[in-house]
Structure 1
Amino acid sequence: MRRHLRLLAAGATAASLLALGAFTQVTTASAAEEPLSQGRAVTTSSAEFTWSTGANAVDGDPGTRWSSTSADDQWIRVDLGSVQSIDQVVLDWETAYASGYRIEVSDDGAGWSTIHSTTTSTGGDENIDVDGSGRYLRLWVTERATQWGVSLWELQVFGPGGDTPPTDTGSLLSFNKAGSASSSQNDGTCWLCTPDKAFDLDPASRWAVSPDTGWVDDGWIAVDLGATAHISSVVLQWDPAFAAAFDIEVSADGAAWQTVHSVTDGTGFKQTIPLDADGRHVRVHLRDRSGPYGYSLWEFQVYGTGGAPTAPPAEPADPDFEDLDLVWNDEFDGPAGAPADAARWTIDPGLPQNNEQQVYTPSGNGFHDGQGSFVLEARQEEREGRQYTSHRMNTSGTFNTQYGRFEARVKVPEGRGLWPAFWMMGSDFLEGRPWPYNGEIDIMEFIGQDPTNAHSTLHAPAYNGAGGHGGSYTLPDGWKISDGFHTWAAEWDSEGIQFSLDGRDVFYADKDEVESTRGPWVYDHDFYMILNLAVGGDWPGPPDASTPFPSRMLVDYVRVYQ
C-alpha cells in the first residue's frame, strides 16, 4: 500500500481544524475481517483538497480522509471488484458529517438500489446493518449537517465474501484492432482523431466525431475483435465531450446488433462496465450528448476471452521502494567554474514559454561552484532582446526511463519573479509530440516571492497549466524553504506518483483517482529530467527592484533509484 500523509492546507475549513487530533479507530465487523472496500477503486462527486481524495476513505488509515466541496448532492462510490453480498457498512465521520444520506448498491454502476437511508444521522462512528448485494456501493448525501461539505475518515463495507478478489476479466482484446465510427474529426482542434486512436493504448490520443455536419446526438464507435469472444467488461476513458446516455452493443457480423447494456446517467471520465456477452464486434451507440459538442474517447478497451488478441507491449515491473539500487546520479563534485558533465546533461535552450523573460545561455550561467554543488545563475543582463539570462539543462540525450525514485537536493533562491524547478518531460516530446500530450511531472516548483510554499504538479491533455493536478505544501515549522537545502523526490510506479519533501510525503497522485476524476493518465512511458531557473512568466510575474541579481539555484545532487 502506498504511503499517504494528511496535510492541513492554509485554507482548511473550520471543520478540518476541529477534527485535528481527534482520530478514532473505526470499529469493524470483526477485528480479523478485512473490509471488502479496502484499497478498492473509488470515485467521488468532488474533493475539497488535493490531499482529501476518495481513496483516503478506503485505505484503512483512520488519519486520512475524503472531504467534499461545500455543495449539496455529494457522493462517494467504491468498486468492490465483483458482485458481493453486503451485510454491514461502517462510516467514521469527521466533524463535517451528513445528517441525511442513502446507501445504494449496483451491479453495473448504472442502475442503483437503496439499501439504507436516514435523515437523522448524528455523525461520529456509525455501524449500519444492511441486506444487499452489488459490485458498487455508493453513499449519496441528501443533507449536510454543517455549512461545509462532508468528510469521512473511513468508509468500510463488510460481507461474507471477506476479501474476495475481483472476478477475472480475461485479457485485453481490443488493442490495435480495426475500428470504425459514425464520423471522425480532423482539424486544428482534433487532428487525425480517427477510431484507431481509441484502441491504441495511448491515453494521449483520442477519437472524436466530426463537427462537419453539426453536432448531433446519434453516433457510434465500434471495434472488430478479429474473432468471436466472450466479453466480460468494457472500459471507456472519456474526453470532456462524453455521452450522458449510450448503449453497449455486440454483433457476430457487424451488421445485426444486440444491446447488452444501457447507460442513461453517464458521468464521463473513466467508466468500467461489467458485461456477460458474446460477439466479434463491440459498439458504443451514443444517444445523448452531455454538452454542446460531439463525442470523444481517449480509450475504448474491451476485455474478455477468445477473440484474436494482440499482446500490448510489456510494461516495466513496478519498483520495490523498500529495496532500490542507484542507477543514475550526478554529485556535482567538479572543479569550480566547470560546466555540467556532457555525459550526463544536455544544455537546453528552452523556449520563451509562459511569457518568461530570460534567455537560457549555453554557457556561463551554469557551472560547478567547486564546493559540491552545481549553480544555475540568473543575471540581469541583456541578451537577444531580453533583459535576463539564466540556465536550463536536461537528461534527454543521456538518460530516459520509466518508474523509480527521482531525487534532488536543492537550495532555491528567494525573490520576486524567480521560478526554479526540478521536473520531468515525457520523452516522446523529443519525437515531436507536443506538450501536454507527452505528459509533464513537476517534482518541485518554487515561486520566489512565496518563500514558504513549494509545489508538485502533473500536466496532461485534460488537466494542465493552472488546471494541473497537484498540490502546494510548506515545511512543518513554516520556515522559508529558501533558507537552506531541501530534498525533493518522486516515487513513481504503475499505480501513481508519491511526492515528498525531506522524506515527508506531501502529495500523492493516484492513477485510478486521476482517471476517474480528472482525465487520462499519460505517464506510463519514458521521461527525462530537467533543472532550470526561469525569470518572470505568467505564474510568478516579472521581477522588480527588490529581486536580487545575480540569483542562484544550487543543486547538491540528482539521483535516480530503480
Structure 2
Amino acid sequence: MSPPPGPGVRRLGALLALLLTLSLLSAVPAGAADTLLSQGRTATASSTENAAFPASAAVDGDAGTRWSSAFSDPQWIQVDLGAAATISQVRLSWEAAYATAFTVQASADGTSWTGLHATTTATGGDQTLNVSGSGRYVRVHGTRRATAYGYSLWEFQVYGTGGSSGAERLLSYNKPGVASSSQHDGNCWECTPARAFDLDPASRWATSSTTGWVDPGWIYVDLGATAQISKVVLQWDPAYATSYEIQVSPDAGSWTTIHSTTSGNGFKQTLNVTGSGRYVRMYGTQRATPYGYSLWEFQVYGTGGNPVDPPAPPDDPSNPPSLVWSDEFDGPAGSRPDAAKWRADPGTGPNNELEYYTDHDNASMDGQGHLVMEARKQATPGSACPVDPLTGSTTCQYTSARMNTGTKFHFTYGRVEARIKVPKGNGLWPAFWMMGADFLTGRPWPYNGEIDIMEVLGKDVKTSYSTVHAPAYNGGGGVGSPYTLPDGADFSGDFHVWAANWDSKGIVYTLDGRTVFTISKDEVERTRGPWIFDHPFYIILNLAVGGDWPGPPDASTPFPSRMLVDYVRVYQ
C-alpha cells in the first residue's frame, strides 16, 4: 500500500478517491449491450497485504474497499466471470499504490493467457480501457510498481457480454440480516434474522414475543454491494403479513418500495420485482394473527451484489436407479440383525407407547430369508413406561423391536422399499419410516423431518398410511393419506411391498408397484409450509405396542405378535 499519512489525510483521501471513482466510472459508459460481468464473482490474487485487503474487495461494487498485494514484483489479480464472455472494457480504480507497468489478459482456463492491453507508462487513478477479446478469466498483471509498496485496486470491473454474472442468481444466502426485533425463547429458539437467509427451511426468523408483536415489523438483508433485484421469495410461518412492502435501499436509511400488497395470504410467495440497492427489506404493516411476523425463508435473486455460493443441491437419482444398499435378511435362524447395517434402538417408545424396545433380543432371522420383529407380553421392571391402562402399572408389560441405520447408512433421494407382512391385533403398530439424519446431531423432531412410508394399525389392518412431518405440519397435521388394498383385502394376510420414490420434486408412494399417494414439494410449500426433505435421512423399522394413535392392546391381542421383513432396499 502507499506510505501511511496521518488519520485526517487518510480519511479525506479515501473520501475523495471514492467520489472521484464513482463520478468517473458513471461518466464513461460501456457499449450499449455490455454488462458489468465481474461484480460479485470469485476473485483471486498472487498475494494480499493482509486479511483486510482481499481480492474479493476489488469486485464487490464498493469503492471504499480494496485489494492490496505484497510489496514485490510481479503481482496479479484475476476474476472468474463464471463462463466464457466477450470482453469490451476494463475499468481500474487504483489506490496510491498503483502500477506503472501492467497488462490486462484474458484466459479460457485460467492457465493460458492472451493480452488485451499493455502499458509501461501508467499514472494510476481511474482508467477505462476499451479492449477486444474473450475468455472466462480476466487478469491484471503488474510488473512494475509506482511506489515501494504493493499494488492496490479499489475496483476492478470487467464489461462485456456473456459470462454468468448477468444471469439471475441467489444473492441473499448467508448475508447479514437486521430486524425490528427477534425471538429467542422456548417457543422459538434462536429465531434471529440470519435464520431467514440460511437456506435452511426448518429454521426461521420471528419478531420478539416481548416487544415485537406490533406493527410495523421488518427484516432486511445486506447483499454486500449494489444489486439489480429481479425476484424475492418469502416462505411465511403462520405468523405472516397481510399487508407488507418489499423495499430497496443503497444505505439502509432511505428506502424505495418495489412491491406492495394488502392481501398477503402467507405460505410461499414468489414476487417478480424490479429494483436496485444493496439492502432489501420486508416491511410488514398488518399482521394476519395476534402474534408477530415470522419467515422461514427470505430469498433475494438478481445480479450484482456480493453473493456467496450456496451448497450445491443433492442430485436426483438416475432413471432407472441402481441398487446402492440392501439387507435381504438371509442369515441363519436365530441370528441377530447385521451390525454393519443396523443398530438397536433400545428403551421406551414415544407417543405414550407401552413397550420396551430391547437390544435386538426381539429381532432375529428365521432362517427362511426374513427378519422377525416380535412383540411379547413380557414385563420389564424399572423401565420408564407410561401407566398401562389395563394394569395401572408403570412397569413396561411388553417388549418389542426397533432398529435403524442411523450411524450406518443415510442417503438423500432415491427409491427405498421393503417387503413386509404386518401383524393383526388391537394395540399393535408396525412401521417402516425414515428420520432426518440431523436428528442424530441434536436437531429435534420435527425440525429434522420424518418420512413415514408404512404405518398400519393392528385394529384396522385394511388401511395403511404414508405421511411426512415437518415443523409446520406434524403429528395429526402431517401431510399424508390412507389407502387400502384392492377388494378391501387384509394387509396382515400376506407380504406387501411399500416404497417411497423420493427426489427434489417430492415423494411418490407405491404399494406393490401401484401409486397410492403423491406429495408435491411445490404444492406443500404453497399450501402447508416449508419442505424440509432435501437432506440425508436414515431408515427405521419397528413394531410398537400401544400409544396415542393405536390405543392399548386388549385380551384379544395375540402375543407374541410378529412383523416379518423380507428385505429392505435403496436405489439411487
TM-score with structure 1 length normalisation? 0.69
- Give, in angstroms, the shift of residue 169 of structure 1: 7.3
Equivalent residue for 2:523?
A: 513
Equivalent residue for 1:527?
A: 537
Equivalent residue for 2:67?
A: none
Is the 8 Å Cα contact of residues 229 and 305 (structure 1) preserved in structure 2?
yes
Equivalent residue for 1:339?
A: 336
Equivalent residue for 1:486?
A: 496
Q: Which runs of 4 or more aligned residues in structure 1 lie more than 6 Å from their structure 2 counterparts after TM superposition?
A: none
- Give, in angstroms, the shift of residue 363 of structure 1: 2.9
Q: Matched residue of 2:526: which SS?
A: helix
The whole-number CA distance in structure 2 between the counterparts of 1:351 and 1:184 is 37
2:397 is the alignment partner of 1:400: no
- Give, in angstroms, the shift of residue 319 of structure 1: 1.4
The whole-number CA distance in structure 1 between the counterparts of 2:553 and 2:501 is 33
Equivalent residue for 2:160?
A: none
Could you report, residue by residue, the CA deviation over 1:135-160 in whole angstroms, capped at 9, with x for unpaired residues?
xxxxxxxxxxxxxxxxxxxxxxxxxx
Equivalent residue for 2:221?
A: 223
- Give, in angstroms, the shift of residue 324 of structure 1: 1.2
Equivalent residue letter for 1:269: F
The whole-number CA distance in structure 1 between the counterparts of 2:416 and 2:349 is 27
2:551 is the alignment partner of 1:551: no
In the TM superposition, 1:213-362 aligns within 5 A as 213=211, 215-320=213-318, 322-349=319-346, 351-362=348-359
Equivalent residue letter for 1:509: I
The whole-number CA distance in structure 1 between the counterparts of 2:423 and 2:177 is 52
Q: Residues 225, 518 of structure 1: CA spacing in aligned structure 2 closer, same or farther, 3 A cutoff?
A: same
Equivalent residue for 1:134?
A: none
The whole-number CA distance in structure 2 between the counterparts of 1:269 and 1:478 is 37
- Give, in angstroms, the shift of residue 476 of structure 1: 1.6
Could you report, residue by residue, the CA deviation over 1:204-254 in whole angstroms, capped at 9, with x for unpaired residues?
000000021262121100000011111111000000000010000000111
Equivalent residue for 1:43?
A: none
2:536 is the alignment partner of 1:538: no
Equivalent residue for 1:411?
A: 421
Equivalent residue letter for 2:173: F
Is the 8 Å Cα contact of residues 416 and 448 (structure 1) preserved in structure 2?
yes
Q: Matched residue of 1:451: which SS?
A: strand
Equivalent residue for 1:189?
A: 187
Equivalent residue letter for 2:501: E
The whole-number CA distance in structure 2 between the counterparts of 1:455 and 1:363 is 26
Could you report, residue by residue, the CA deviation over 1:407-428 in whole angstroms, capped at 9, with x for unpaired residues?
0000000110000000000000
Is the 8 Å Cα contact of residues 181 and 212 (structure 2) preserved in structure 1?
no
- Give, in angstroms, the shift of residue 352 of structure 1: 3.0
- Give, in angstroms, the shift of residue 315 of structure 1: 1.7
Equivalent residue for 2:38?
A: none
Equivalent residue letter for 1:213: T
Equivalent residue for 1:363?
A: 360
Equivalent residue for 1:458?
A: 468
Equivalent residue letter for 2:358: T
The whole-number CA distance in structure 1 between the counterparts of 2:228 and 2:236 is 24
Equivalent residue letter for 1:247: E
Q: Matched residue of 1:198: which SS?
A: helix
The whole-number CA distance in structure 1 between the counterparts of 2:488 and 2:571 is 30
Equivalent residue letter for 2:368: Q
Could you report, residue by residue, the CA deviation over 1:183-215 in whole angstroms, capped at 9, with x for unpaired residues?
000111001110000000000000000021262
Q: Residues 249, 350 of structure 1: CA spacing in aligned structure 2 closer, same or farther, 3 A cutoff?
A: farther
Q: Matched residue of 2:461: which SS?
A: coil
Is the 8 Å Cα contact of residues 349 and 544 (structure 2) preserved in structure 1?
no
Q: Matched residue of 1:453: which SS?
A: strand
In the TM superposition, 1:8-47 aligns within 5 A as none
Equivalent residue letter for 2:444: P
The whole-number CA distance in structure 2 between the counterparts of 1:369 and 1:352 is 25
Q: Residues 350, 301 of structure 1: CA spacing in aligned structure 2 closer, same or farther, 3 A cutoff?
A: farther
Structure 1: gaps (5+ residues) = 1-167
Is the 8 Å Cα contact of residues 348 and 355 (structure 2) preserved in structure 1?
no
Q: Matched residue of 1:438: which SS?
A: coil
In the TM superposition, 1:50-65 aligns within 5 A as none
Q: Matched residue of 1:433: which SS?
A: coil
Q: Residues 492, 169 of structure 1: CA spacing in aligned structure 2 closer, same or farther, 3 A cutoff?
A: farther
Equivalent residue letter for 1:373: H
1:444 to 440, 450, 454: 454
The whole-number CA distance in structure 2 between the counterparts of 1:351 and 1:402 is 29
Is the 8 Å Cα contact of residues 350 and 392 (structure 1) preserved in structure 2?
no
- Give, in angstroms, the shift of residue 316 of structure 1: 2.0
Q: Residues 433, 461 of structure 1: CA spacing in aligned structure 2 closer, same or farther, 3 A cutoff?
A: same
Could you report, residue by residue, the CA deviation over 1:58-89 in whole angstroms, capped at 9, with x for unpaired residues?
xxxxxxxxxxxxxxxxxxxxxxxxxxxxxxxx
Q: Matched residue of 1:456: which SS?
A: strand
User: Kindly, what percent of the aligned residue pairs are identical?
Assistant: 66
In the TM superposition, 1:486-505 aligns within 5 A as 486-505=496-515
Q: Residues 435, 339 of structure 1: CA spacing in aligned structure 2 closer, same or farther, 3 A cutoff?
A: same
Is the 8 Å Cα contact of residues 169 and 233 (structure 1) preserved in structure 2?
no
Aligned residues: 394
Q: Matched residue of 2:552: which SS?
A: coil
The whole-number CA distance in structure 2 between the counterparts of 1:307 and 1:194 is 22
Equivalent residue for 1:33?
A: none
The whole-number CA distance in structure 1 between the counterparts of 2:246 and 2:320 is 45
The whole-number CA distance in structure 2 between the counterparts of 1:211 and 1:528 is 35
- Give, in angstroms, the shift of residue 285 of structure 1: 0.3
Equivalent residue letter for 1:219: G
- Give, in angstroms, the shift of residue 432 of structure 1: 0.4
- Give, in angstroms, the shift of residue 276 of structure 1: 1.1
1:429 to 439, 460, 464: 439
The whole-number CA distance in structure 1 between the counterparts of 2:532 and 2:211 is 31
Equivalent residue for 1:208?
A: 206
